[in-house]
Each structure stands twice: as C-alpha cells, then as structure tokens.
Amino acid sequence: MSENASSATAQPCCGWLSVWTEGLAFLVAAVGVMGSLYLTWGLGLTACPLCLYQRMFAMAVVTVLLAGWLFAQPVGRGLSVLAFPFSVGGCCVACFHVYREWVQSMVCPLGLWEIGTAPQQSLAVFTLLTVLLAVSMLAATERRAWWNRGLIALVLLAGLGAAMAWGLIKSSPPPSGQGSYQELVQKRDNHELSVCTPVRPAATPEHSATPSSQDTASQKPPAGTGGVQKGGFSFLARLSDIK
C-alpha cells in the first residue's frame, strides 16, 4: 500500500505537458539553427562573433535533446534540465546583441523575410525556446519535489547559462569594420550590409579654456610693430610726466 502511494506521489507534475513542450522546444531550436545557417549559406551573410555564439547555443540544445532521446531518456523525462542552460545562454547573448543595436553602437543585417534584424529574430527564438524548456522541466518534476527540485534548479541552471554567456561576451573579439550610423542603416536597408558592423564613435569638438598655440600665435602682433609701438607709447608717457 505504501509503495503504491509513493509511486503515485512520484509521478511527474504534468507528464503530457512535459512531453509536448520538450518536443516543441526541439523543433524551435532546430528551426533556429537552420535559419541561422540559411542566413550564411543562402543569403551570403557573415556571422559576427555574437552571431556565432548564439548559433552554437542553439546547436547545443538540438544536440543534447536529440542525443538524450536516442540513447538516454524518452521525450519528457527530464532532458530539458540539460538543455535549459544553453538556451538561457543563447538568450542572454541575443539580449546583449539587440541591446547594442538599440543604443546604436552596432548595425546588423535584416533577418529572414526582412522581419526585424537577425539578432532580433534570434532573441525571439531563444525567448520561446527558454520558456518551453522551463515549462517542460517544471512539468517533469515530481509533485512532492516540485519546489525543491523544480524552481531552485530553474534558478541555478539559469545562472549557469548566464555565466556562460557573460564569459563569451567578455572574451569576444571585436567585430571588424566601422561606419557612421546613417551610412550603415542605409546599407542595411539596401541589402548591402553583410555582417554586424560597429558604429564609428561621433567626433565631439573639444572646447578648451586655454587658447591653443596656433591661436596664440595668430593673435600675437607682428614682430617689430606691436611691441615697439607699445614701448614707444609708454616712453612718450614717461617723457610727458618728466615735463
């Protein structure tokens, strides 16, 4: 009797939900990988370091889920726990990529069907992927351990993914090329921009309180004229005082 009760309480919280969300997460990750590769092979775009990191995270999710289903566990039996950190890492890199676009420090090519830029589409994919994996992971948790092994694991794994993203961003090589924001946006709209390109910092004029040497030299009176005249006037004034 006790064994039956323990087996009943050890059932997943929502087994069917875990199966469906984990399967959908695999499809979303696979579509993201194929779309990313098509941007390079089909449209001739070049992936910057941040784009490559996001592609690698999506490939890691596909690999973990597919290898786990084939050789470890069936769909919906907890493999989302292994794939979740990679999804969070890709989402964090995509957020940073879109943030750089938002502050106008980088301009990126348009994505598929020109629905936003490539980083914006990547952020949408990783956001959906992260939500699906989180739901699948919580749904596969046992009812009696949902709080301890569900939410706490979710937070810890999310922190692991964010730490991986931070390490990649901090060690990322700078993208090549530069240009003004208006110039890069025009190239993007004309489909001439093939890689995410940093915006050249605008030159700000320097206002100095002290005049420069060139200005000082230009303000000096010609040699032999101003100084002599000034000296002559002072000499005449002294003579008038003596008189």
Three-state helix/strand/coil letters over the chain: CHHHHHHHHCCECCHHHHHHHHHHHHHHHHHHHHHHHHHHHCCCCCCCHHHHHHHHHHHHHHHHHHHHHHHCCCCCCCCHHHHHHHHHHHHHHHHHHHHHHHCCCEECCECHHHCCEHHHHHHHHHHHHHHHHHHHHHHCCEHHHHHHHHHHHHHHHHHHHHHHHHHHHHCCCCCCCCECHHHHHHHHHCCCCCCCEEECCCCCCCCCCCCCHHHHHHHCCCCCCHHHHHHHHHHHHHHHHHC
42: left (phi over 0), alpha (psi -120 to 50) or beta: alpha
Q: What is the pLDDT of residue 1?
A: 39
Q: What is the pLDDT of residue 53?
A: 95
pTM above 0.85, yes or no: no
Q: What is the pLDDT of residue 149?
A: 62
Taking 50 as the pLDDT cut, the residues of the chain under it are 1-9, 207-214, 216-217, 224-233, 235-237, 239-243
